[in-house]
Chains A and B, each alone.
Chain A
């Protein structure tokens, strides 16, 4: 439309309000609200529904307060760690009340898995002077058998005409775990139901150092290093490991047991570029290594295509690969000595995972944005490892996990 017929007076009036409304100290009248609903569904296993609300307010002079509320509803079944057998297997529920039976040749899944999690976080970002900012945050999370409180502080320093930003941060988290049916004694027979306490705790300390470099008007590069130390109870009180006899059939089950320390280091690099046609490409890579023997590589790529009328479409690919923890075992045998630590939790096993998805969204007038994300996740490992023998050779010892993720987002001013 030609300018002579275009009505701009209304929008001009809004722009003028922004110009004059702000005295230097004025705070913005509105909150920026980002709402999302995430639906995660594993085939035959866990489903989760997760509404998220993120509210952000500019307090004036670039001082920003943000709050986040996440609700998480989980239902479904989760692998308990035991190997499949040619015979049906019966397991006592973690509470000690009742039992569940897994049919022959099927992966044992504990179907008592359901929980609701609520978590809140609060962040306060404030410039200290022209080149320094600090961010303080607090978080709280609660679910049926788990409570967590955390605090973090992040400092960033701009230099080199604000083309380079150095970041340093520290975060501390305290967790309390109160397992259903109390804490089992690690590596004891499930049927003996030996309990050591009603609650456990752990602390996590994270240090972060980062550099962000603006390369030119359209691109930036970021590198982060983080060091994370966890101490305390890190065992999953609901996971077990099968001890098999000479034919590969389960003789009994032990509760798993993990070390009480974990030191993790990771390096993360990200490159982001806006192309001449305004499309945005983001690539990132993370390498993680810990003293449990887990090493992982994550490659992530998104490409955002700007379309007509405010629409955008953003394909996403992610590839993840990890090696197994030193104490990961598909199973133990009844002739071997019981190791100091052992877990058959598939999340600690050797695996690769691929995520492929697409996000479509539209920017409506005045910063209202909606988007929909749809992704497919597939995780796989070695289903027939060399150490399998007897009946185990006929079983899938590392079943694939397939999941679909759908997310709806709506951002607006309030």
Chain B
């Protein structure tokens, strides 16, 4: 998951805690191995190397594709798992190099979820296109691990993968899980401590990955329609929702709304924290 991950369980039973943590770790690794774009031995690699052929998929992959499809529709195309190739044009290393428009235009030809054909049996990408579950994978892993662990344990559990977290319910002693949101202006310091009883938090932003060019700040979340990041976005958006997956989608979409991030989140009637 490329970030510190933790599973918190309030219990006196050290062996139970150890078992649950191991089992959670196994599940998280499984999801990462199966859906990471950076491996060449998994289903995502097969799909991306399909060269226009239909690739057989299992039920879990189908459900993720179905979810991505739903997000694409709900967001009017702003959430698009085929947009990962746009990253080739951008180097978010704190430098000041902007990509050329012609390079972006060329990459944009290989973006567009509507060109993907999928059903419960197979998925077919036009040659040259790629999918990337990066926008939902970690949040899905958080929710999935929590759901799995709860089947074997009646204690309340908190799963936290690099700040994206989901709690099954409040710990008996404290009444809530103390969760810090990082202030993007002061990395490493918790800007605000949120008392999370149950539910999930997810954060999107450009705390570490951005470019400053011509006096403007360009974050790493790209608009799949233009190939450019939204301008005037908050530096960081944290959303509270029922599941980490929902919170993650909403925070990403909020960033893409630029100056309208807050109005978008207001319309969703969710609790959120924006840092500008």
Contact = CB atoms under 8 A, between A and B. Distances in A.
Interface of A: 3-9, 11-13, 15-16, 18-20, 22, 24, 61-62, 130, 158, 161-163, 217
Q: What is the size category of the interface that chain B forms with chain A?
A: 35 or more
B224 to A, nearest CB: 13
B245 A16 contact: yes
B144 A162 contact: no
Highest count of chain B CB atoms <10 Å: which of A9, A11, A24: A9
A19 B270 contact: no
B267 A13 contact: no
B59 A24 contact: yes
A216 to B, nearest CB: 10
A3 B76 contact: yes
Interface of B: 53-54, 56, 58-60, 63-64, 66-67, 70-71, 74-76, 78, 117, 120-122, 124, 140, 143-144, 147, 241-243, 245-246, 249-250, 253, 257, 260, 263-264, 267-270
A13 B66 CA distance: 14
Contacts of B257: 3-4
The secondary-structure label for the interface of chain B is helix
B67 A8 contact: no
10 contacts: A4-B260, A11-B74, A13-B241, A16-B242, A16-B243, A161-B54, A162-B54, A162-B56, A162-B121, A217-B124
Contact of B66 (A4, A7, A19): A19
B269 A7 contact: yes
B122 A18 contact: no
A20 to B, nearest CB: 5
Contacts of B245: 16, 19-20
A12 B117 contact: no
Contact of A62 (B120, B122, B144): B120
B66 to A, nearest CB: 7
Contacts of B63: 18-19, 22
Contact of A12 (B71, B124, B267): B71
B70 A11 contact: yes
A217 B246 CA distance: 31
Nearest to A14: B70
Contacts of B144: 20
Nearest to A60: B59
A130 B56 contact: yes
B74 A22 contact: no
Contacts of B70: 11-12, 15, 18
